[in-house]
């Protein structure tokens, strides 16, 4: 059974019409200056060419903090100047600066905005929410159908490694440019859309290249109040054409103030933490030896969620130095009729901005009654349960570690063939150490997640015979065996230490397995 919800879709372009109107216009021709093949030949748009920032300074901060005043100030002023120009030309559906906004008194400082113009003059549409990955459909609205006047500039990496701005640069279809366009239904000042490789017709799914582009934009802007967000399908994205959103808000988001607990640091130097004392469970990524290391780690986690059909939202914060990954289940609950009527009546769709603490409210009543308690109630419905969150974490960390280790998935490759002596000799000592450290990191992380989950369940329910836990521990034991074999054949630097550690871990796994199997065994009748 397909899960669907009805909601009023956000109008992000003045050319976004109902399906019937779209069909009628296709029959009659384009009739506008769009980004499709009919209008692109000979078209020109401004081009901002950014400098690729890969190295991190000695203070281990990401490039967003570098003192590069001219280019940073220029991107900021360029984006806002072009955005203001479109406002003066009347391209927005309403004046967002006239929307009432307040910080809700209380511990968390949730931000409430009354935005009555976002959902007007649009009828509810049915959306499928049980499938995160869906093919691109060119018959539906996509960003190639926007008018060129809604595009602020092209955003591409510089060919010579230096920041450049070209006021009028040809659009090259063969290179499929990335563009920054206005959102005609803005949530805040400077609300824009980053659309990677727009002419490739990419569906709404994150890949490494597109996520790195988003981080470059955050770092290049260099403004801590400029944040980028991403919504997957099933997590309140309404347009299945790859895009990120971004806007300015000169207030710290509640999620940015939430305490965190470090889980691990990857071999690439990316610290992964868990959000604490926040209504939505999530992970926080920061650091990394390079900007690409951070990007790859987060994008691998996103790809894992996509492939496992888990809806999620992403917030890129602090000039690209902190990234929040938030799996969610609100739309699924809504489709199943599990969300309370009082929450549905608010018509709030908890996407990335709402989850981050910026509550966009559509009714005056909800705005006047906004409180920490009400915001918490809504967001608590968005969050995965603790048990499910730990399951998802196990998948994420498995994917991250596999990406760190050349995309090898050890769980799917239990039969490891020993290397020949010649192959071992070819691998140098540094490779031995690096690969071994990655393997040990992956082992300890997966082992910790496995036992945290088991112990949590044991405390909640006692030792009930649930076969999924036995399977989980068995899988953990198999992973350890495979990794011990790999370490044995990859290098001898840490071999004895790793072998002792894994032997101890395998012993603990065996004890847990025996304990659960004994509990699950049928009792003999007297």
CA dihedral 269, 274, 277, 282 (to 10 degrees): 120
**Tokens found for residue 481:** 């065996």
Q: Are 361 and 346 in contact (CB under 8 A)?
A: yes
Tokens standing for 13? 């372009």
* Burial of 98: CB neighbours in 10 Å, binned 0-12, 13-18, 19+: exposed
Please answer whether residues 403 and 300 qualify as being in contact, where contact means their C-beta atoms are separated by less than 8 angstroms: yes
Question: Which residues are catalytically annotated?
Answer: 243
Q: Residue 11 CB: number of other CB atoms within 10 A?
A: 21
CA distance 385 to 183: 33
- In angstroms, rounded to a whole number, what is the distance separating the alpha carbons of residues 72 and 65? 10
Task: Report helix, strand or coil for 164.
Answer: strand
Instruction: Answer for the pair 291, 320: CB distance below 8 angstroms, yes or no.
Output: yes
Q: Rounded to an integer, what distance in angstroms lies between the CA atom of residue 469 and that of residue 187?
A: 44
Q: How far apart are the first and last CA of the chain?
A: 47
Pair type for strands 312-317 and 322-327: antiparallel
* Residues facing residue 358 across a β-bridge: 111
Which residue, among 207, 198, 158, has the nearest Cα to 179 in the 3D structure?
A: 198
27-41 core/surface letters (b: 16 or more CB in 10 A; e: else): eeeeebebbeeebbe
**CA dihedral for 522, 523, 524, 526, sign (positive or negative):** negative
Alpha carbon 236 to its chain centroid, in Å, reads 13
Pairing of strands 151-157, 44-50: parallel
Annotate 346-399 with DSSP letters as a single string.
TT----HHHHTTEEEE--HHHHHT--HHHHHHHHHHHBPPHHHHHHHHHHHHHH
Contact (CB, 8 A) for 165 and 46 = yes
- Tokens for 123, please give them: 């009828």
Q: For residue 347, what are its two tokens?
A: 């018509």
Identify the three-state secondary structure at position 444: helix
Distance CA 401, CA 407 (A): 8
- d(C-alpha 427, C-alpha 330), whole Å: 49
């Amino acid at each position: 059974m397909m899960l669907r919800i009805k909601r009023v879709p956000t109008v992000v372009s003045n050319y976004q019409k109902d399906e019937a109107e779209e069909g009628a216009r296709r029959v009659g021709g384009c009739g506008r200056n769009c980004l499709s093949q009919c209008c692109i030949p000979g078209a020109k748009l401004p081009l901002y060419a950014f400098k690729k920032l890969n190295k991190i300074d000695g203070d281990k901060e990401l490039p967003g903090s570098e003192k590069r005043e001219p280019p940073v100030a220029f991107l900021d002023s360029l984006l806002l100047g072009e955005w203001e120009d479109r406002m003066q030309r009347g391209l927005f559906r309403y004046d967002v600066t006239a929307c009432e906004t307040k910080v809700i008194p209380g511990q968390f400082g949730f931000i409430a905005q009354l935005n009555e113009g976002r959902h007007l003059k649009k009828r509810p549409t049915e959306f499928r929410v049980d499938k995160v990955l869906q093919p691109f459909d060119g018959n539906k609205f996509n960003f190639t159908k926007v008018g060129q006047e809604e595009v602020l500039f092209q955003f591409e990496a510089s060919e010579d490694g230096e920041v450049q701005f070209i006021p009028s640069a040809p659009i090259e279809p063969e290179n499929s440019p990335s563009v920054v366009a206005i959102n005609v239904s803005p949530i805040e000042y400077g609300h824009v859309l980053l659309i990677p490789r727009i002419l490739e017709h990419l569906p709404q799914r994150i890949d490494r290249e597109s996520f790195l582009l988003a981080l470059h934009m955050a770092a290049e802007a260099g403004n801590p109040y400029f944040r980028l967000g991403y919504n997957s399908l099933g997590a309140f994205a309404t347009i299945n054409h790859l895009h990120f959103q971004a806007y300015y808000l000169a207030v710290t988001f509640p999620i940015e103030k939430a305490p965190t607990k470090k889980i691990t640091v990857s071999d690439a130097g990316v610290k992964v933490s868990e959000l604490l004392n926040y209504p939505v469970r999530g992970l926080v990524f920061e650091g990394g030896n390079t900007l690409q290391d951070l990007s790859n780690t987060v994008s691998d986690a996103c790809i894992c969620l996509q492939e496992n059909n888990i809806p999620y939202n992403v917030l890129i914060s602090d000039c690209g130095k902190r990234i929040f990954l938030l799996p969610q289940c609100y739309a699924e609950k809504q489709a199943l009729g599990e969300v309370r009527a009082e929450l549905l009546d608010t018509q709030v769709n908890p996407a990335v901005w709402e989850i981050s603490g910026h509550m966009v409210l559509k009714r005056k009543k909800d705005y006047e009654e906004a409180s920490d308690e009400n915001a918490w109630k809504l967001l608590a419905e968005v969050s995965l349960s603790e048990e499910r969150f730990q399951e998802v974490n196990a998948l994420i960390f498995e994917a991250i570690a596999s990406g760190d280790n050349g995309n090898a998935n050890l769980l799917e490759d239990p039969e490891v063939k020993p290397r020949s002596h010649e192959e071992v000799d070819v691998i140098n000592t540094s490779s031995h150490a690096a690969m071994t450290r990655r393997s040990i990191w992956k082992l300890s992380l997966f082992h910790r997640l496995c036992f945290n989950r088991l112990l949590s369940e044991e405390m909640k329910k006692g030792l009930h015979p649930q076969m999924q836990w036995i399977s989980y521990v068995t899988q953990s034991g198999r992973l350890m065996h495979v990794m011990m074999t790999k370490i044995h054949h990859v290098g001898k630097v840490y071999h004895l230490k790793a072998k002792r550690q894994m032997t101890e871990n395998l012993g603990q796994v065996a004890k847990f397995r025996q304990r659960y199997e004994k509990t699950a065994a049928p009792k003999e009748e007297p």
